[in-house]
Structure 1
Amino acid sequence: MSIRRLVRGTIEWDRLEVVFREMAERYDRSELRVEFLDADNWLSTPCVVNDQWFVKIVTGQNSLVHALFTGARNLGAFTSGTEGFFEHFADPMEMCEHELEATKRMREIGLHVPAPIESFEVDGMGVLVMEYLPEFETLDDIDEERVEHYAPEVFEALSAMHDHQLAHGDFRGENVLIYDEIVYFIDATNVREDGIAEARSYDLACALAALEPLVGARDAVQAAAEHYTPEELLAAREFLDFVNMRPDHDFDAVSVKGEIEKLADSEDADGE
């Protein structure tokens, strides 16, 4: 058994059957076709139902793992000179409700996200139901030329989120989907309202970290600069070392910092 499966936990089949019986009743279906996804997700058991719905099943163990992750991330935020801004969920249902509401808010401001459908509780588990996007690609899946094409759109969408006082909190290449030539965001996490400014800087640092291995530091920073000021990029720079400690980001932090500093110096020189 992999460490991921051990930590995430395996849901007993009889409990899964309870979930799918509830779905069949809710959506008036005599039977359901279920495909479990071997996604790198520690916080839920994801599956696709009837090629129509993307479903996350969240257990108490998933909630416990989220609490551990939240504590570690807040500790890392302290190393960047700020208070921790990640917030834990009380239980599996709260995890599902938050993602549903965060997705609704992103959709309301015009961002492309899978349509949020509902969340409900069954046998102590939270169940989140979203639109399923077939045949999508993640930002990590596509070639350099296409990443360069989509990078400005990625930063434009992230900037729009930030302009509306929202933060993603878990920006990674696998959480950016390309579907029908459109950029979609998924898997927003929970950020304290009083920490939103720091969370936005952290988001920007994560986006630069995700794009640097794909297009290089210069192109990543230039794409971000189309939608963020030098001051905002300098604020993000303070989180790059923290982001670089995360196992799901592997990038050249020194090069990204250098490109941000060159951009800021150039702007200062132009302003004199």
Structure 2
Amino acid sequence: MAFRRLLKGNIEWERLEGVMVEVARRYGREEARVEFLDADNWLSTPCVVEDRWFVKVISRQHSLLHAILTTGRNLGAFSSGQEGFFEHVGDPVEMAELELDATRRMRELGVNVPEPIEAFEHDGLGVLVVEYLPEFRTFDGLDAADVIRYAPDLFESLAHIHDAGLAHGDLRAENVLVAHGRLYLIDATSVREGAIEQARAYDVACALAALAPLVGGRAAVDAAREHYPMDVLLAARDFLDFVNMRPDHDFDAANVKGEIEKDASSDA
């Protein structure tokens, strides 16, 4: 447990308190009500301020862990016969700025994301502020019927950002929210410029991996096919074993690959 706490980069209370005072000042509050989230988040310390703003506080240790994970993901891409396409991030402020920029760009494309507000530096920490979505549910908190209902929306959102040369890069059930009857994407990461082909296939593989345990491989592939041609699904198939090695995905990769290959044979 001590090793896990070390990796997760706990931030001293005095520094966190300083960030909250700065957030309150920026939004015209003498003081602010803050709720730190009991989330298994390795790359930031998240909290909700005044039930209006979702704030991520990023330390040097968080950015260091991000670099380690990025290296591992790029090695995984190599093992799948692809060039590494995840982008390294230099420091906590850059992490916050890149996620803010990715969120802004997705919003400009008409993809549902929390409203991006700002990113700034305070006491050597990176701070990201976006809209807080109350009463949301994550994809893995929905029943199967609702997952099937929203699954095509997930692939439609991904197709929009992919068509614009962007990618999510860290898609999993916890990063897909449903609020106010709409699907939202959160926690986009950075991928290398010019690597959209590989990043698109990886995103689709991650979406299939998130859906398959909830509704089965057949329904997941059917939803993907509403917005992606077979060549993209075949490219995604090549990433499925790598995605299945990630601790945040647990699905029957062989079943999903079999469903893709079944469709590819029938299309031939």
TM range, normalised to the smaller chain? Answer: over 0.9
Residues 179-212 of structure 1: CA distance to partner in whole angstroms, max 9, x if unpaired? 0110000000110012221011000000001100
- Aligned ranges 1:76-115 → 2 under 5 Å: 76-115=76-115
TM-score for the superposition, normalised by structure 1:
0.97
Where does residue 206 of structure 1 map in the other structure?
206
Aligned to 1:255: 255
Structure 1 residue matching 2:47: 3-state secondary structure: strand
Return structure 1 stretches of 4+ with deviation > 2 angstroms.
1-6
CA distance in 2, matches of 1:252, 1:89: 32
SS in 2 for 1:135: coil
**Is contact 1:4-1:42 (8 Å) kept?**
no
TM-fit CA distance, 1:151: 0.7
SS at 2:195's partner residue?
helix
Q: Amino acid of the residue matched to residue 52 of structure 1?
A: R
C-alpha offsets along residues 13-44 of structure 1, whole Å, 9 cap, x if unaligned? 11112111211221110111010001121000
Distance 1:197 1:2 in 2: 40
Q: Distance in 2 between matches of 1:24 and 1:248?
A: 34
CA contact (8 A) 1:24 1:30 kept: yes
The letter for the 1-side match of 2:102 is: A
CA distance in structure 2 between the aligned counterparts of 1:16 and 1:200, rounded to whole angstroms: 36
Cα distance in 1, alignment partners of residues 145 and 82 from structure 2: 36
Shift of residue 6, structure 1, vs aligned partner? 2.8
Q: What SS does structure 1 have at the residue aligned with 2:141?
A: coil
SS at 2:264 equivalent: helix
State the partner residue of 1:143.
143
Q: 1:1-272 counterparts in 2 under 5 A? A: 1=1, 3-268=3-268
- Report the alpha carbon displacement of residue 2 of structure 1 after superposing the two structures with TM: 6.0
Partner SS for 1:189 = coil
In 2, the alpha carbon distance for the partners of 1:23 and 1:219 equals 44
Separation in 1, partners of 2:83, 2:65: 21
Q: CA offset at residue 5 of structure 1?
A: 3.0
Mapped partners of 2:267, 2:91: distance in 1: 47
In structure 2, the residue corresponding to 1:254 is in which secondary structure? helix
Aligned-partner Cα distance in 1 for 2:121–2:6: 23
Larger mean CA deviation between 8-17 and 180-189 belongs to: 8-17
Aligned residues with identical type, % of pairs = 66
Q: Which amino acid aligns with 1:244?
A: N
Residue aligned with 1:203, SS: helix
The whole-number CA distance in structure 2 between the counterparts of 1:221 and 1:34 is 41
TM-score (norm 2): 0.98
- What is the CA deviation profile of residues 199-254 of structure 1, one whole-angstrom value per residue up to 9, with x for unaligned ones? 11000000001100000011110110010001110011110111011111000111
Structure 1 residue 51, shift from structure 2 partner: 0.6
CA displacement, residues 127-173 of structure 1 (integer Å, 9 cap, x when unaligned):
00000000100001011111011111111111111111110000000
Q: Amino acid of the residue matched to residue 102 of structure 1?
A: A
Letter in 2 for 1:207: A
Mapped to 1, the partners of 2:3 and 2:250 lie a distance apart of: 20
**Alignment check: 8 A CA contact 1:33 1:50 kept:** yes
Q: Give me the whole-angstrom Cα distance separating, in 2, the residues matched to 1:143 and 1:4.
A: 32
Which segments of 5 or more consecutive residues in structure 1 lack a partner in the other structure? none
Aligned length: 268
Look up the SS of the partner of 2:20 in the other structure.
Answer: helix
Secondary structure of 1:46's aligned partner: strand
The amino acid across from 1:119 in the alignment is A
In the aligned structure 2, how far is the partner of 1:139 from the partner of 1:124?
A: 34
Amino acid at match of 2:221: V
Query: For 1:23 and 1:61, how far apart are their aligned partners in 2?
Result: 22
Distance 1:161 1:194 in 2: 14
Distance 2:226 2:256 in 1: 16
